[in-house]
Amino acid sequence: MELLGGWLEAGGPIIVILAALALSSLALIVGKAFQLAGTLNGQARREAAVEAWRAGDQETTTEALADGRRPADRVLATAMAGLDAGLDRDAVREDVERHGNAELEHLRRHLRTLEVIATVSPLLGLLGTVLGLIQSLQGLEMAGGSANASVLAGGIWQALLTTAVGLLVAIPAAIAASLMAARVDHVGHGIEDSVARLMVAARDIPGRRAQS
């Protein structure tokens, strides 16, 4: 705690801002991690649901998609409902695209904020360093050049502290934003794959399902 207090005192308001960004970033990373956990699971259950739907086994289909916790499950259930209602496949595709985009947009929420934190934090750190160096040089000038090397070095390390903290905030935020964006992309691919399987199944049984 003393070290943290020393950093806050040495870095001034820039360090306080970076600390607030660090806490915000941590909260976003934890929240998104919980939200995205398990979103890629259930592929086997969705495949089983499509096969059951093809066979007209409504009970098994419903059981396979019952929890509806995953975006792909919800989009697939929407597509099945549209086909069962007699909609043509073009209309179902449009409905699926709309629902799928809404699901992915929900998963992407706040990722942009993480990206902004990753971009802004090093710049704030650099700003703090520049301001710190200016202050140190002003102090050296006021001392008439009589300041010793240890005093000058102390001013420089305090100035560089904000750059280091800025990078410490930015790097985890950038990594998390990249990994989570890739996760969302994989979810999107999973949705496309499940719906494509369903459309193939619908084409195989045009007499009982919606016509193209």
Domain ranges of the chain: 13-204
pLDDT (tens, 9 = 90+) of the chain, 212 residues, equals: 454 555 555 557 888 899 999 999 999 999 999 988 887 787 888 888 888 888 887 888 877 777 777 888 888 888 888 888 887 888 888 889 999 999 999 999 999 999 999 999 999 999 988 887 877 777 666 666 555 555 566 667 777 888 999 999 999 999 999 999 999 999 999 889 988 888 888 876 655 444 44
Model pTM score: 0.79
CA distance 46 to 19: 44
Burial class (CB in 10 A: 0-12, 13-18, 19+), 154: middle
Closest CA to 70 of 106, 93, 40: 40
